Amino acid sequence: MFPLGLTSYIIGGAFIGLAVAFVYILTGIHATQSTFFTSTLSYFVKRPYFQRDTNLKSREWRLFFAAGVMLGALIYTLTISPDGFWVTSVPMWRLIFGGFLVGFGTRLSSGCTSGHGISGVASLSTTSVYAVLTFIATGMITVYLLGVLGL
């Protein structure tokens, strides 16, 4: 069940939860991730979907939030990480093809692992609970099929 132990998962999750709580208590904002793509695109794409109020109102903080996420991971890597800098061995075609579906699917669903998975579930939203169960199920099926196909 837990070949790498539990400690890093509990501590990592606690930091993530603290970040969400910190932002929410101070500002009432749900610090979530995937709207970042649409809201950042609103700087360049003038079509009505991208120019929605929610995108325009949040696009600035979402850039700061994303920059923070990247910096936080860098700080971890430069300080207490046992691994140091690290590069994945997942093939490039999987990162790109999978990434495309992640961008498409999270926006169609209005949420990702953080929006549905943390803020949505913690808000006791049934939509988010269904979404989380769905993406975990299709994720597991996909990994299984890729294994069967030897990819």
Partner 1 sequence: MKQQNSVLFIGGIIFGFGLAYGKMSQPEIVLSFLERTDFGLIVLMAAAFSFAFVAINIVPRFIEKPILGGQYKRRERTLSKNSIIGAIVFGVGWGISGLCPGAAISSVGVGNLPALAGIAAMFLGAYVMGRYFS
Minimal distance, residue 58 CB to partner 1, in Å: 9
Identity of the residue, 56 or 95, whose beta carbon is nearer to partner 1 in the bound complex: 95
Which residue of 43, 54, 56, 94 would you call a contact of partner 1, by CB under 8 A?
94
Minimal distance, residue 150 CB to partner 1, in Å: 14
Taking CB under 8 A as the rule, does residue 56 contact partner 1? no
Q: Within 13 Å, how many C-alpha atoms sit on residue 85's CB side? A: 0
109 token code pair = 């669903």
Q: Within 13 Å, how many C-alpha atoms sit on residue 26's CB side? A: 7
Contact characters 13-52, partner 1, x per CB under 8 A: xxxxxxxxxxxxxxxxxxxxxx-xxx-xx---x-x-xx--
Residue 42: closest CA among 57, 56, 53: 56
